[in-house]
Structure 1
Amino acid sequence: MTLYEYKMLSEDKQYDTVFAKGKFLDIVIEGSSKYVLYAIDKFFVEVEWNNKTDEIVGKGEFKCGDNLDRYSNVPKEI
């Protein structure tokens, strides 16, 4: 599945695809949010959860960039 094909799905189908076909990669906790990273073929999906309510806040899709950098253990420059 390409990122374009994924984006053409309804939002419900996108979530179904992430949780059924996505490969879990990592979790990052920042404040009251938990970011869960999944890989689908050649792109990534990040699902944001509210830690207090355990509900999904949103999601984002990307192939590379700053969003992916969050999951490296390299400290950010100040």
Structure 2
Amino acid sequence: MELYDFNRLELNEQMEVVNQLGAFIDNHVTKTERCNLYAVDMFFVEVVYNSEYNTITELRSFKTGYLLDKYSTGF
């Protein structure tokens, strides 16, 4: 699946792709949100949860960039 095709899907369809094809890489936790990073084919998907209510608030899909920076801290 290409990133463009993934972005055209509805949220529920995107989550289905992440659950079926995604490989979990890492998570990142702050006071306001919890993020899980997955690799799907040749791009990444960040699943963002509201920490207080434990609900998915957003999916962020990307190939490279600053969104990966928070997962490389501490090494």
What TM-score, normalized by structure 1, do the two folds share? 0.86
Query: Which consecutive unaligned segments of at least 5 residues does structure 1 have?
Result: none
Residue identity opposite 2:34 in structure 1: K
Rounded Cα–Cα distance in structure 2 between residues aligned with 1:12 and 1:35: 17
Find the counterpart in structure 2 of residue 43 from structure 1: 43
Rounded Cα–Cα distance in structure 2 between residues aligned with 1:18 and 1:70: 20
SS for the counterpart of 1:16 is helix
Query: Which consecutive unaligned segments of at least 5 residues does structure 2 have?
Result: none
Deviation at 1:19, TM superposition (A): 1.5
Residue identity opposite 2:65 in structure 1: G
Rounded Cα–Cα distance in structure 2 between residues aligned with 1:11 and 1:31: 24
SS for the counterpart of 1:28 is strand
Cα RMSD, aligned residues only: 1.5
1:1-78 equivalences in 2 (<5 Å): 1-73=1-73
Rounded Cα–Cα distance in structure 2 between residues aligned with 1:55 and 1:11: 13
Rounded Cα–Cα distance in structure 1 between residues aligned with 2:74 and 2:66: 12
What TM-score, normalized by structure 2, do the two folds share? 0.89
When Rg is computed on C-alpha atoms for both structures, the one with the higher figure is: 1
Residue identity opposite 1:67 in structure 2: L
Map Cα deviations across residues 3-62 of structure 1 (whole Å, 9 max, x no partner).
012122222111111122111000000112101100001100001111121111111110
